[in-house]
Amino acid sequence: MKKFKKLVEYFVEAVLFSSSTITSLTVILIVIFLFREGIGMFNSSPLEQNFVIVVSQKNPVQELNATQIKAIFNQDIVNWSAVGGAKDSIILFTTNDITNYYSEEELGSSLENLPAKLNDFILENPGAIMYISSKSLPPNFAGHKLAVKKIGVADFVFGEQWYPTSEPIPSYGIWPMIIGTLMVTLGALLFAIPLGIATAIFMAEVASMRIRNLLKPIIELLAGIPSVVFGFFGLIIIVPLVQKTFGLVVGETVLAGSIVLGIMALPTIITITEDALRTTPQALKEASLALGATRWQTLVRVVVPYAKSGISTAIILGIGRAIGETMAVLMVTGNSSNIPHSFLVPARTIPATIAAELGEAPYGGLHFKALFALGIVLFIFTIIVNSSVEFIKNRSRRA
């Protein structure tokens, strides 16, 4: 019997050990995975794999930058003379346009005539710019490739345009999203910190036991509401409210996102602050009261300073809750990729972008990698937030 008990103990220990190993391994694997997928987008060509931009051999243009190519395919530039070529109008051509020029019979049932027809096309249309797969080009093709600049880290972080599916050149600039994410989070905290700390103080020090027992479950319930429900609430109640109050043309704004996120961060802030306030030793409080301090003075001079580090942790965890929130923000901030210059305009956040676009981004493609790179940026934000929690904890321990 004793032997059996020992065996059980051994078994439990093994389970505990493997659980913790699995947890830490999972975290490490997720980080490795995130970086492996995300790093891949840098220093690669913005064009799809195996795709090239070609022009006729007679065309003197050798190189175009991404902005020029974008302008050409957006039909803002319509003549070669604008980019240093001859005076000839530009004819846009992507692979799917071939059926406008040649019938399916001419191309052959398994497209075996495609390379020859592409060659015919460029011979007949010297003003063409073609965006096609290099595999479909014939070996003696009557055109030359244009050089395209690779994507750098600075283009990604400080770029101001996000057109991930635009052909032939997508834009992956996330600066508006970084600003959007930070502004929505900041707004949420401006709203949630005073309200959260006030509620926590009320619950810990002022409220009677009965009121506290009533409030506590309500606030905990707030933490349990799914974020989609918050999103709906925001879209139907907060958005029109913001729009009417400020007389805006559009209600989906940073402010609406901030309010919804603020409500979502409240339970975290309240619960942790309240716990911190409650750790103040009764002896300290009694000493303060005994010295003749009022209840208010005791609260401000003794209880809150004692719980300072706990309150800071609450705020920072609140930031963590707000910065990574996805669904609710996706529904109320409007997601337009302009840089927000105030709290009353639409904005796009990093988590919302990942959630909205990952579903359709082709696996392993550039868009897919760009979304993982966005994940890295978000991960870095979170690391900063978490290490500041550690920093504050350590500092208060030393003090």
Question: What residues line the site for another protein (CB under 8 A)?
Answer: 70, 73-75, 95-96, 98-99, 110-111, 114, 133, 135-136, 161-167, 235-236, 239-240, 243, 249-252, 330-331, 334-338, 346, 348, 355-363
For another protein, give the closer residue by CB, 194 or 362. 362
Q: How far is the CB of 254 from another protein (least distance, A)?
A: 13
Q: How far is the CB of 272 from another protein (least distance, A)?
A: 31
Q: How far is the CB of 86 from another protein (least distance, A)?
A: 25
For another protein, give the closer residue by CB, 50 or 213. 50
For another protein, give the closer residue by CB, 95 or 125. 95
Q: How far is the CB of 167 from another protein (least distance, A)?
A: 8
Q: Residue 3: which residues within 8 A CB-CB, separation 6 or more?
A: none
Strand order in the sheet with 128-133: 91-94, 128-133, 51-56, 143-145
Distance CA 378, CA 356 (A): 15
What are the phi and psi torsion angles at 29 (to 5°)? -60, -40
List the one residue out of 184, 182, 183, 159 whose CA is nearest residue 171. 159
Q: How far is the CB of 107 from another protein (least distance, A)?
A: 9
Distance CA 216, CA 369 (A): 43
Q: Which two tokens stand for residue 280?
A: 């103040």
Distance CA 95, CA 128 (A): 13
For another protein, give the closer residue by CB, 45 or 396. 45
For another protein, give the closer residue by CB, 292 or 359. 359
For another protein, give the closer residue by CB, 112 or 283. 112
Phi-psi category of residue 111: left, alpha or beta, with phi > 0 → left and psi -120 to 50 → alpha: left
Q: Return the axis-axis angle of helices 254-278 and 209-224, rounded to nearest 10°.
A: 140
Q: How far is the CB of 236 from another protein (least distance, A)?
A: 7
Q: How far is the CB of 333 from another protein (least distance, A)?
A: 9
For another protein, give the closer residue by CB, 193 or 372. 372
Q: How far is the CB of 337 from another protein (least distance, A)?
A: 5
52's enclosing H/E stretch is: strand 51-56
For another protein, give the closer residue by CB, 112 or 397. 112
> Alpha-carbon dihedral of residues 242, 245, 249, 250, nearest 10 degrees?
0
Q: Which two tokens stand for residue 351?
A: 């988590």
- What's the full length of the chain, in residues? 399
Whether 50 contacts 134, CB under 8 Å: yes
Distance CA 111, CA 257 (A): 50
Q: How far is the CB of 73 from another protein (least distance, A)?
A: 8
Whether 324 contacts 382, CB under 8 Å: yes
Distance CA 237, CA 214 (A): 26
For another protein, give the closer residue by CB, 31 or 236. 236
